[in-house]
Amino acid sequence: MSVLVVGVGNPDRGDDGVGPAVVDELARRAPAGVDLVAVLLPTRLWDAWQGRDDVVVVDAIRTGREAGAVVVERVAERRLTRSGAAGTHGFGVADAIELARALERLPARVTLVGVEVAGFTPGAGLSPSVASAVRPAADAVVSCVEGSR
């Protein structure tokens, strides 16, 4: 069965666009058996991953690390706390995952690849530090995919 990679975020809101940017990078070099999709809002995750067992979610995070830091966390096994991963979303990826868990709609394996962001300026592109993290984040996704096989 294939792995689904979902990039969450809005490319027109500064660093919030990092999830879709990583999906674009992966479109050029993803291993076989990887399905890619970008969604604007975390609430779209439920439809995107319906019927899937193995999902990697890529999103902007705010944890206090340096902008551009890449964090990988397996989340299906434990509860997430709201970590600032909401970006410009009032309802973030952590919220979507925990609601899916409560509704028993969480895939068996979910991995979050987060990229620490600098800001969410409307109309802006990725900041330089986040733009330089797109490739390492894509590498992290590839490692997750290869590790799940």
pLDDT one-digit tens code per residue, 101-140? 888 889 999 999 999 999 888 988 999 999 999 999 999 9
Residue 35: left (phi > 0), alpha (psi -120 to 50), or beta?
beta
Kindly state the percentage of the chain with pLDDT values over 70: 89
The CATH number of residue 67's host domain is 3.40.50.1450
- 42-77 in b/e form (b: 16+ CB < 10 A) is beebeebbeebebbbbbbbbbeeeebbbbbeeebbe
Res. 47: pLDDT tops 80? yes
- Contact in structure between 37 and 7 (CB atoms under 8 Å): yes
Res. 86: pLDDT tops 50? no
Report yes or no on whether pTM surpasses 0.75.
yes
Q: How confident is the model at residue 88 (pLDDT cuts 50, 70, 90)?
A: very low
pLDDT of 19 reads 97
Range of the domain at 143: 3-147
- Count structural domains, the chain: 1
In the sheet that holds 34-39, the strands lie side by side as: 34-39, 3-8, 54-61, 109-116, 70-74
